[in-house]
Amino acid sequence: MKNQNLLDNLTGFLEANIQLVKLEVKEMLSKAIVTTVTLVVTVCLLVTALFFANIALAFYLNESMAFEKSSSGFGLVALIHLSILLLFLIFRGLFRRKVEKTIDKKLPLNIPTKHLKS
């Protein structure tokens, strides 16, 4: 009788802990999904805005610099972007290290298990 009661209590405790872990995983997953969707929408809108801003800049450069060809402003904008790309490629190691450090701070690999400790 006493052993059965102890076994029932232990089983109930384990089931409660399993439910708690499931709820925590569900919460973490929902936060990750919301963050990902928000990031994707933000990046898409930002890319669209930058695309049209670059077109506007190219037309502005054509008018303000009085280029002979109407495509020269677009070429200048392309050179600006290629310069930024070159700088990025030169400093990509530094960028990678900073991103890894930020990810390590924001997303620790250890899953909190405080509820499993006795």
Report whether 58 contacts 73 (CB < 8 A).
yes
Sequence-distant (≥ 6) Cβ neighbours of residue 60 within 8 angstroms: 73
Q: What is the pLDDT along the chain (118 residues), one digit of tens a residue?
A: 778 888 888 898 999 999 999 999 999 999 999 999 999 999 999 999 999 999 999 999 998 888 788 889 999 999 999 999 999 999 999 989 998 888 888 777 665 555 555 4
pTM, two decimal places = 0.60
CA 39 to CA 117: how far, in whole Å?
Answer: 35
